[in-house]
Structure 1
Amino acid sequence: MNIDHVLEAIPPLSVYLLVGLVVMVESLGIPLPGEIVLVSAALLASSHSGLNPLWIGALASAGAIIGDSIGYLIGKKGGKRLFNWAGRKFPKHFGPQHIANAERMFHKRGMWAVFFGRFVAVLRILAGPLAGSLNMHYPRFLLANALGGIIWAGGTTALIYYLGVVADKWLKGFQWAGLGAALIIGVVVTLVLKKRMSRTHEELPAEKDDAVA
């Protein structure tokens, strides 16, 4: 079966909703592969005439903003008890060291931690709940959250989409190879950026400011 026929059979609305839902759930504090889903959808759009990358980016942005805002409210209500419970359930994401590192970044960087946290896997999950538990001023949180979500979602979608278009053009007639090459390039770029951001996060000094900005 030709891959074009397979891709064309996928309802675009289902892809848009899935991207928005997964990114939203991840952003409110539940470990889900939001970045992988976004990258896959953007790559799919590069070879699927019925998928619009603008809608993928828009739904991912909305999911990020809404999810982080819900996570903020959950963190404000649950506080430390929430992170103690999450640490037992998801030690790889909410272990004591993860929480301590994230808190240091929030105390030092304030709203910038929310913005740049969107580009780091662990902080992407923690940003909303942690900002709420630390009583960050919500308008400042919302501004950083919205800017980070839009730039992360829009930038990732555009990068992967155009990589897919270029790969498909270069490898016309070998569509499976084109998709595979674009996916590998996209994943490598994403991992490199994530590693650099994570390294910066881990190297933050241990000193804390007196209050969140």
Structure 2
Amino acid sequence: MADTIHVLIAKYGLLAVFLGCIAEGESAAILGGFFAHQRVFIPWQVFSAAFAGAYLGDAALFFLGRRYSGNSFVLRMREKPGFSHAHRFITTHPNTFVFFNRYAYGMRVIGGITAGLSGIPVSRFLLLNALSALIWVTLFGSIGYLGGMGAEKLLGETLAEHQRLILALVGGLTVTALAWYAAHHFFRNGNGKEDG
């Protein structure tokens, strides 16, 4: 079983990092960094896959909002509670909004659509998106890499390969669950304040 897990991660792991970073992908970038430290992946390959996913994901949302503003998905995003906040922010601070949107957990999809609906020039969006993705991947990939170093310090370097993989998967699921809970709690409280 452990060998099968290792083969699957080695074969499809970079694709999983890429796809995970297209969406709300902090945990995918962290897992990629951890696996790079554990020598399952080469660090530059993880970085490239995570950067490509983060950059292309936000660019796709931007162009969806820009070119297909009447699309049913775009219209649904416009009805979300966070859209009005995002729209006000990008109107007053477009560069800051584009650069930091990916760091606001739970707002990435709405933020990308909002940026596309705004009047920000395409070239400026693509440049800011690239810089933001570069820093984002470096930050979260490094957290995973340092997590791998920390695991070795705590548990020793004698961990079997399958134990490292299981530790990374449990860590990634824990980070994802905590981030989801925090975002859900934050937006539920924020909506309650708006309604009251």
The TM-score, its normalising length taken from structure 1, stands at 0.68
Aligned equivalent of 1:18: 16
Partners of 2:73 and 2:85 in 1: how far apart? 13
Partners of 2:114 and 2:75 in 1: how far apart? 14
Aligned equivalent of 1:56: 46
> What secondary structure sits across from 1:136 in the alignment?
coil
Q: Which 5+ residue runs of structure 1 have no aligned equivalent?
A: 27-32, 88-93, 203-213
CA deviation map 1:49-102 (0-9, x unaligned): 231232112111112222222222110122265566424xxxxxx643210111
Q: Are 2:150 and 1:160 equivalent residues in the alignment? A: no
Q: 1:169 aligns with which of 149, 153, 161?
A: 153
Q: 1:167 to 1:22 in 2, by over 3 A?
A: closer
CA contact (8 A) 2:14 2:45 kept: yes
> Once the two structures are aligned, what percentage of the paired residues are identical?
24
The CA RMSD over aligned residues, in Å, is 3.5
Partners of 1:84 and 1:140 in 2: how far apart? 22
Q: Are 2:99 and 1:108 equivalent residues in the alignment? A: no
Q: 1:125 aligns with which of 109, 114, 117?
A: 109
Q: Are 2:132 and 1:141 equivalent residues in the alignment? A: no
Higher-helix-fraction structure: 2
> What secondary structure sits across from 2:140 in the alignment?
helix
Deviation at 1:38, TM superposition (A): 2.3
Q: Which 5+ residue runs of structure 2 have no aligned equivalent?
A: 191-196
CA deviation map 1:120-148 (0-9, x unaligned): 12332223321111121111111110011
Q: 1:34 aligns with which of 3, 9, 25?
A: 25
Partners of 1:54 and 1:78 in 2: how far apart? 35
CA contact (8 A) 2:69 2:75 kept: no
CA deviation map 1:90-123 (0-9, x unaligned): xxxx643210111112112102111111111233
